């Protein structure tokens, strides 16, 4: 078993001019007691059990490190985490509620669930889940997502309805980017914060450029790239 921990933060290294400050909702909140000593203890080889080893990331966030491993191991690895962002992996994923390992999903799936409080919670797997997050955002990391989709607030139910009929990841990407372009919202800040890196040097821009985007969306992304949206804060 391989465990991954991190001491890094996207928010600490970059200034992103998006809809909301990345992880800005965590400002002023106390971290759990002894968090840093616990990280160091877990990463100390003398404390390892035979069943697992540990990688302590100081540059990447732990979820990026896990996606690195997923793309490296492919069918020989399984992601198991309570972090829903990791559902975007296209490789095997352990579903804790079902107690089973879900197979690889090159495209993916989405399913809306009703919570006990009556709210819609969107679950899924594969790259399709990433594009759903681009619409609905991620409240845990203070990422807003799209401001409005077809003139309405999107949220999880709207993300599902927008993507449920898409047949492949190219159609899903164009559906989301059509929405951003229609209200002239730059998708790059949201994508930069939500995209998990597949390998060193990877980023949301390179991922988008690998897709079959419409001519309109391709031109729009290049125009958005020239906007004042990103700067190194170091």
pLDDT value, residue 203? 96
In 34-168, alpha helices (H): 35-43, 62-73, 127-136, 155-163
- Indicate whether 233 pLDDT > 70: no
- Indicate whether 142 pLDDT > 60: yes
- Indicate whether 14 pLDDT > 90: no
Please give the mean pLDDT across all residues of the chain: 87
Parent domain of 104: 2-232
Number of domains into which the chain is organized: 1
**Mean per-residue pLDDT for 210-220?**
98
Question: How far is residue 119's CA from residue 102's CA, in Å, rounded to a whole number?
Answer: 25
Cβ proximity of 195 and 204 under 8 Å: yes
Residue 231 Cα distances to 14, 15, 16, 201, 202, angstroms: 7, 6, 7, 17, 17
- Indicate whether 234 pLDDT > 60: no
pTM over 0.75: yes
pLDDT value, residue 18? 59
The pLDDT confidence band at residue 9, using thresholds 50, 70 and 90, is very low
Angle CA(76)–CA(50)–CA(3) in degrees, nearest 5?
Answer: 55
Query: Which residue matches tokens 């004042």?
Result: 228
Cβ proximity of 135 and 145 under 8 Å: yes
């Amino acid at each position: 078993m391989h465990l991954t921990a991190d001491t890094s933060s996207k928010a600490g290294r970059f200034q992103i001019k998006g809809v909301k400050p990345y992880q800005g909702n965590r400002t002023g909140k106390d971290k759990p007691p002894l968090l840093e000593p616990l990280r160091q203890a877990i990463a100390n080889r003398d404390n390892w059990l035979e069943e697992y080893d540990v990688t302590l990331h100081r540059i990447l966030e732990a979820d990026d490190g896990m996606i690195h491993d997923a793309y490296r191991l492919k069918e020989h690895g399984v992601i198991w985490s309570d972090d829903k962002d990791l559902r975007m992996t296209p490789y095997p994923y352990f579903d804790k509620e079902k107690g089973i390992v879900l197979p690889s999903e090159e495209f993916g799936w989405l399913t809306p669930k009703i919570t006990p409080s009556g709210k819609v919670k969107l679950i899924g797997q594969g790259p399709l889940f990433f594009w759903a997050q681009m619409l609905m955002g991620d409240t845990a990391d203070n990422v807003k997502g799209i401001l409005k989709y077809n003139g309405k607030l999107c949220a999880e139910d709207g993300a599902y309805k927008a993507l449920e009929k898409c047949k492949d990841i190219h159609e899903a990407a164009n559906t989301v980017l059509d929405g951003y372009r229609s209200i002239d919202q730059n998708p790059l800040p949201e994508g930069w914060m939500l995209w998990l890196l597949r390998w060193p040097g990877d980023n949301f821009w390179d991922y988008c450029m690998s897709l079959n985007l419409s001519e309109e969306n391709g031109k729009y992304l290049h125009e958005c790239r020239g906007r004042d949206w990103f700067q190194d804060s170091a």
